C-alpha cells in the first residue's frame, strides 16, 4: 500500500480529506502536514494538531512566513477586515496569492524526502470562493510541474474537487469524520465559537443545512455561533 501525505489546515475540507485518506490508504500509511504561514486565525494550527492526534497519525508543522511579509490580504493582516464579495481584481480579499501552489510544492518536497508518492489536498472547484489555485486545471498543471521538477512519481489527490459543500458533509459523515469536525476551524475571523457571519462560516453552515446534518462544531459550543 502506498503512503500518503495530507495537507491538513485544521478546517472542514482538509479534515474530511484526512478521513478519506485513512479509508483509502490505512492509518499506518498516512502522514499530515500543516503550514504556519503567519495566518491571523492561528487557532487552526491547534485544531490541525488535535485532529491529527484524534486520527492517530503523524503531524508536521512547516513554517512559511513569506505570505505574512507579502501581506495585502485579510488572512494574514489583522488590519484588513474580512469582506464578502470580490475586490476590484475580481478576487475575495481573503485570497492569498500562490498559497496552494506553495503549500503543495513544499508538501511534495516533504513527501519526496519521506518516500511518499500520494499527496492529498482539500481544494474544491465547485465552491472555491473565486480562488484560482483551487481549480482542477491548476492542480493538474502543478502535478506535472512537480513530477518533472523533482523526478517524483507523485499524484495529487483532490477528493472534494467537484463536490458541493453538502456532499462534502455527507462524505464526512460516511467516513466517520464528524467527531473530528467538532475540532475543526473554518471561521475567517479566527474565533471559537465561530462568528457565523464571515463567508467561510456561511458556506459551512449552508453545507450542513443542505445535508440535513447538525454541525458537530456548533454542537460542541452549545449549538450556536458567536
218 is in an annotated binding site: no
pLDDT higher at 208 or 40:
208
SS3 sequence of the chain: CCCEEEECCCCHHHHHHHHHHHHHHCHHHEEEEEEECCCCCCHHHHHHHHHHHHHCCCEEEEECCHHHHHCCCCCCCCCCCCCCCCCCCCCCCCCCCCHHHHHHHHHHHHHHHHCCCEEECCCCCCCCCCCHHHCHHHHHHHHHHHHHHHCCCCEEECCCCCCCHHHHHHHHHHHCCHHHHCCCCCCCCCCCCCCCCCHHHHHHHHHHHHHCCCCHHHHHCCCCCC
Overall pTM > 0.85: yes
Query: Which pLDDT score is estimated for 53?
Result: 98
pLDDT tens-place string over residues 137-192 = 999 999 999 999 999 999 999 999 999 999 999 999 999 999 999 999 999 888 89
Q: Is 101 labelled a binding residue?
A: no
Domains of the chain by range and CATH?
Answer: 4-178 (3.40.50.620)
- Is pLDDT larger for residue 130 or for residue 114? 114
pLDDT digits (tens, 9 = 90+) for 209-226: 999 999 999 999 987 665
The answer to the question of whether 9 is labelled as a binding residue is yes
Q: What is the pLDDT of residue 71?
A: 52
> Annotation-wise, does 10 bind a ligand?
yes
Amino acid at each position: 500500500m502506498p503512503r500518503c501525505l495530507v495537507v491538513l489546515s485544521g478546517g472542514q475540507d482538509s479534515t474530511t480529506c484526512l478521513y478519506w485518506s485513512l479509508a483509502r490508504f490505512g492509518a499506518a500509511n498516512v502522514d499530515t502536514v500543516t503550514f504556519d504561514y503567519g495566518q491571523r486565525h492561528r487557532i487552526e494550527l491547534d485544531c490541525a494538531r488535535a485532529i491529527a492526534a484524534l486520527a492517530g497519525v503523524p503531524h508536521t508543522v512547516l513554517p512559511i512566513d513569506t505570505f505574512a511579509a507579502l501581506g495585502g490580504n485579510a488572512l494574514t493582516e489583522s488590519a484588513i477586515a474580512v469582506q464578502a464579495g470580490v475586490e476590484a481584481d475580481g478576487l475575495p480579499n481573503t485570497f492569498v496569492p500562490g498559497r496552494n501552489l506553495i503549500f503543495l510544492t513544499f508538501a511534495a518536497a516533504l513527501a519526496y524526502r519521506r518516500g511518499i508518492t500520494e499527496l492529498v489536498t482539500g481544494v474544491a472547484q465547485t465552491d472555491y470562493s473565486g480562488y484560482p489555485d483551487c481549480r482542477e486545471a491548476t492542480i493538474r498543471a502543478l502535478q506535472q510541474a512537480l513530477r518533472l521538477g523533482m523526478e517524483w512519481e507523485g499524484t495529487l489527490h483532490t477528493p472534494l474537487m467537484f463536490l458541493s459543500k453538502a456532499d462534502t458533509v455527507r462524505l464526512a459523515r460516511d467516513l466517520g469524520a464528524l467527531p473530528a469536525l467538532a475540532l475543526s476551524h473554518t471561521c475567517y475571523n479566527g474565533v471559537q465559537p465561530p462568528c457565523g457571519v464571515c463567508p467561510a462560516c456561511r458556506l459551512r453552515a449552508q453545507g450542513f443545512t443542505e445535508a440535513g446534518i447538525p454541525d458537530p462544531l456548533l454542537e460542541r459550543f452549545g449549538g450556536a455561533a458567536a
